[in-house]
Amino acid sequence: MDVEELKKRIEEALGGLVKGIEEGKGFIDVIVDLDNIVEAASRLKELGFDHVKSLTVIDYPKENRFRVIYHASSYLDEELAKYIVGIGADVPRDNPRMPTLVYVWRGVEFQEREVYEFFGIEFTGHPDMRPLLLVPQLAEAKPLRKEFIVKEEPIIRVKPPTG
Amino acid sequence: MSGDGGRVYVGNLDRSAKRAKDLVMGKLRMGRAVDWATAFSLWPVHLTTSCCGCEFAATWSPRFDAEQHGALPWVGARQTNMILIEGTVSKKMACAVRVTWEQMPSPKFAIAMGACAIDGGIFYNSYNIVRPWEIIPVDVYIPGCPPRPEAVARAIIELQRKIRQKRVVSKWIEEGWRPDKEYVAPKEDPCSWWRG
Amino acid sequence: MSVWVYGEQKSDLKIEGAIARRIAEDLYEVFIGPQHPGSGHMRIIIRVDGDIIVDADPDMGYVHRTMEKLSEGREWIKNIPLFERMAIHDACNVTVSYVIALERILGIEPPPRARYLRTLLCEINRIAAHLYGFGIFGVFMGHSTMYMWSFADREVMVELAEKLTGARLTHSYPIPGGARRDLPQDFPDQARKAVRYFRRRLEEYRKIFLDNPVMRSRMEGVGVIPKKVAAELGVVGPVARASGIKYDARLAEPYDAYDEVEFEVPVFEEGDALARAWVKFEEIKQSLRIIEQAVDWLEKHQREAPMHPKFWERSPPLWKKVFEAEGRVKLLPLMANLKLPPGKAMARSETARGEIVYYVESDGKTTPYRVRIVSPSARNAIVFKYIVPGYRVMDLPTIYGSIDYFPPEADR
């Protein structure tokens, strides 16, 4: 099975839910509407993608959106294990809410908590929506958003003393 | 021991005891003996703050065997008198370090291991780290990222030298001088995040 | 009220969470860690009924050093030593997939010699990391001999890595397009000697640890993860393979030289702590095989710069002279301001504790736009929540030790 065939299978399984397929190096992203993401994810799971490798969130402040992608793959199907398929949606930055996928893939529970503290995206229906890694005060600052800036120490060139 | 004038196989016991007492209390001074004894009974607590713990573990492995210098990691904070900060201390960990430090009986010592423990190291601009010297008084710093086990052993020897030369323990007993009192208490309560 | 009182032994330590708390009839909340033996830096909040754990809540983040954020402000090449700090005893495995992701965006493939060199170091690191895991497992179980033996033998592998790269733990060995150093002249003999030593030694490990009746009674049937549950929770590495899932990133998507060397992936069906220890044990044997093959290949083939020709041609003549004299690839000047074309890539590699996944997005600058890391320990942490309840408190160290959880890697 090559990538083209995989795309065809996914499009068949997801039907009209697919908004677009983006191809990266080493993975493909299936973009769906935010409202359909639970439905699309369950169909993807029925296809054999049984676990999530990475819950990736990328912040695009200029376009006022977060891209949330669940990069899934398969353990039990050796053919599908070669591919990483992401199911993603755009979440508006001013209203960061989306339905949780914990009940589709149990493994994302901690990763969703992580996204909640770093980006402030709230997953409705998540059983335990608390910060995971950060102290509560820092989690309010949402450090992985682009507007949170860490100070960088510049390289200062000093002229050697003459004479 | 009885018999002719207390003379036994080892010689005159009364005289030996007096000489020993003079030696310890007079010439050596008991205080120095305390320093000497403390220097060779350092018990680092088993608190691994960060990734330098890999080398911390290797230091007490058979290859490097830091136990020969008179230090062995121990589990409970109540039975230890030395803390080895391994690398970065995050904000969450700062509270644990402080709580562990307060549980340890005095006199107690601290070694900060790795570049991160000196001034952040590779994580100098991270928003989640604390410099260890902000929360506890540090005696010896070890540079390196990570320092080799030999460097850790060297730091233990340095600390022993410091204890004996500065007479940390005997001064504490005689004059109530405490090196950790010279440092200010942490400006911020490291556990403030927990109390909310 | 000041809590921090100097000069007095009694300080107010009434911190919620430092003490056991009664939360219901016959139900207590106990806080374990972050100060505990073994590779600490993690807290598990358990609720116990008698000594049966009814609920466990891993409280992570004690070593969270914000690598994902810091990487956005640093040059591509500077991120390699940064990400290495996740698991310094497994440095090459952790960074190799980041480098592969960069190579995918750049559209280059390292030369075969570089691929074999990386594979060699990856396997050396894997053995060292597995032995580290065994040692910590020994500390958890109170089996001091295991700690002493595996940390002593780990030095053999650490010294091999030191000979190859110059650093005990933080090698920063792979760079986009190749590796940083060629094989030293006397390396093959030393490597073969180490392999022979380990083959003999592993038999003794089996006798004293895996077949030890005392250890078996503590490990057998503890922390069982059925195959279905393992797939559902998305656990990785030896934890998954001990539950019968035949998944290894080296098989699923072969990187470096893994499609050219012969090795097997050990899979066990039991899913308990003993099976996880066995997986690691068998993996050490397979790694020894790969080391032998890689060394043979490297010895047989012509010595050449382990660097992609596109980069190597553009390096100054002095750099080439240094390579001929010392076998060392000096960091190429163009690497400092390496600009990647816009694009995104994902790469995975199999570290000692499981698969690590990098998502790298570039917008054409000298720094990444976003790097997402999901490390094996971060994915295995969910085991604490769903597998630990139901076992006794005394089984917790066994489960913790057997999944080989490494907090700096999980917290990133």
Q: Which of C170, C183, C171, C141 is nearest to C306 (CA)?
A: C183
Q: Check if A78 contacts C (Cβ < 8 Å).
A: yes
**In this complex, how many residue pairs, one in chain A and one in chain B, have their CB atoms less than 8 Å apart?**
22
Min distance A35 CA to chain C CA atoms (Å) = 24
Given A26, A135, A150, which is nearest C70 (Cβ)? Answer: A150
The answer to whether C359 contacts A56, with C-beta atoms less than 8 Å apart, is yes
Task: Tell me the DSSP string of A91-144.
Answer: EESSS-EEE--TTT-GGGHHHHHHHHHHH--EEET-S----SSS-HHHHTT-TT
Residue scoring higher pLDDT (C199 or B30): C199
pLDDT score at C12: 45
pLDDT score at C288: 92
Residue in chain B lying closest to A154 (CA): B125
Q: Which tokens in the block code for residue C158?
A: 């650490």
The per-residue pLDDT for range B80-108, each reduced to its tens digit, is: 888 888 888 888 888 888 888 888 887 88
d(C-alpha C410, C-alpha C380), whole Å: 9
pLDDT score at B178: 62
Residue in chain C lying closest to B145 (CA): C170
pLDDT score at C37: 62
Which residues of A are less than 8 Å from C374 in CB distance?
53-55, 111
d(C-alpha A127, C-alpha A106), whole Å: 11
Residue in chain C lying closest to B149 (CA): C168
Residue C371 lies in a domain: yes
Count of domains for chain C? 1
Read off the pLDDT of each residue in B155-177 and give the average, rounded to a whole number: 80
Q: Which tokens in the block code for residue C192?
A: 């073969």
Task: Tell me the DSSP string of B115-176.
Answer: HHHHH-GGGTT-TTEE-GGGTS--SEEE-SSSPPHHHHHHHHHHHHHHHHHTTHHHHHHHH-
Interface probe, candidates B128, B188, B195, chain A, greatest A C-beta count within 10 A: B128
Q: Is the pLDDT of residue B185 over 70?
A: no
**In this complex, how many residue pairs, one in chain B and one in chain C, have their CB atoms less than 8 Å apart?**
131
pLDDT score at B32: 73
State the amino acid at position C48 in one-letter form: V
User: Residue-wise over C248-276: b if at least 16 C-beta within 10 A, else e?
Assistant: bbbbbbebbbbeebebeebbbebbbbbbb
Residue C317, domain extent? 67-411
The answer to whether B58 contacts C154, with C-beta atoms less than 8 Å apart, is yes
Min distance A98 CA to chain B CA atoms (Å) = 27
Rg (CA), chain C: 23
State the amino acid at position C148 in one-letter form: M
SS3 C240: helix
Residue C261 lies in a domain: yes
Q: Which CATH class is domain A3-139?
A: alpha beta
- Asked if residues A37 and A18 have their Cβ atoms less than 8 Å apart, the reply is no
Which residues of C are less than 8 Å from A57 in CB distance?
372
- Asked if residues C307 and C114 have their Cβ atoms less than 8 Å apart, the reply is yes
The per-residue pLDDT for range A36-95, each reduced to its tens digit, is: 888 888 888 888 888 888 899 999 989 888 999 999 988 888 888 888 888 888 899 888
Strands A122-124 and B11-12: unpaired
Which residues of A are less than 8 Å from B126 in CB distance?
150
Which region, left, alpha or beta, applies to residue C194 given φ > 0 means left and ψ of -120 to 50 means alpha?
A: alpha
Total length of chain A? 163
Interface probe, candidates A114, A118, A135, A150, chain B, greatest B C-beta count within 10 A: A135
Residue in chain B lying closest to C149 (CA): B62
CATH of region B43-184, choose from 3.90.330.10, 3.10.310.30, 3.40.50.12280, 3.40.50.970: 3.40.50.12280
DSSP state of B107: S
pLDDT score at B24: 66
Complex ipTM over 0.95: no
- Tens-digit pLDDT profile for chain C (412 aa)? 333 433 343 444 444 444 455 566 678 888 887 777 665 678 888 888 888 888 888 888 888 888 888 888 888 888 899 898 888 888 899 999 999 999 999 888 889 988 899 999 999 999 999 999 898 888 888 888 888 999 999 999 999 999 888 888 888 889 888 888 888 888 899 999 999 999 999 999 988 888 888 888 888 888 888 888 888 888 898 999 998 888 888 888 888 888 888 888 899 888 888 899 999 999 999 999 999 999 999 888 887 878 888 888 888 888 888 888 877 777 777 787 888 899 889 999 999 888 999 999 998 888 899 999 999 988 888 888 888 888 888 888 888 888 888 888 888 8
Q: Check if B124 contacts A (Cβ < 8 Å).
A: yes
Whole-structure pTM value? 0.87
Q: Check if A138 contacts C (Cβ < 8 Å).
A: no
Contacts of C254 (CB under 8 A, 6+ apart): none
pLDDT score at B53: 84
Helix intervals (H) in B22-148: 30-39, 53-59, 91-103, 115-119
pLDDT score at C130: 92
Neighbours of chain B (3+ CB pairs under 8 A): A, C
Which residues of A are less than 8 Å from C407 in CB distance?
none
Residue C58 lies in a domain: no
The answer to whether A152 contacts B125, with C-beta atoms less than 8 Å apart, is yes
Q: Which of C1, C22, C23 is nearest to C12 (CA)?
A: C1
Read off the pLDDT of each residue in B159-166 and give the average, rounded to a whole number: 86
Which residues of A are less than 8 Å from C64 in CB distance?
133-134
Which residues of B are less than 8 Å from A153 in CB distance?
124-125
Q: Check if B188 contacts A (Cβ < 8 Å).
A: no
C237, C167, B111, C148: CA torsion to nearest 10: 60
Share of chain A above pLDDT 90, in %: 4
Interface probe, candidates C11, C41, C68, C160, chain B, greatest B C-beta count within 10 A: C41
Residue C243 lies in a domain: yes
The per-residue pLDDT for range B112-155, each reduced to its tens digit, is: 988 888 888 888 888 888 888 888 888 889 988 889 899 999 99
pLDDT score at A155: 66
Sequence-separated contacts (24+) of C278-281 with Cβ below 8 Å: C278/C210, C278/C242, C279/C238, C279/C241, C279/C242, C280/C130, C280/C133, C280/C134, C280/C238, C280/C352, C280/C404, C281/C130, C281/C202, C281/C205, C281/C206, C281/C210
Maximum alpha-carbon separation in chain C: 77
- Asked if residues C38 and C401 have their Cβ atoms less than 8 Å apart, the reply is yes
d(C-alpha C234, C-alpha B97), whole Å: 33
pLDDT score at C15: 47
| Domain containing residue C256: CATH number | 1.10.645.10
Q: Which of C238, C261, C186, C209 is nearest to C350 (CA)?
A: C238
The answer to whether B146 contacts C64, with C-beta atoms less than 8 Å apart, is no
The answer to whether A153 contacts B124, with C-beta atoms less than 8 Å apart, is yes
Min distance C204 CA to chain A CA atoms (Å) = 34
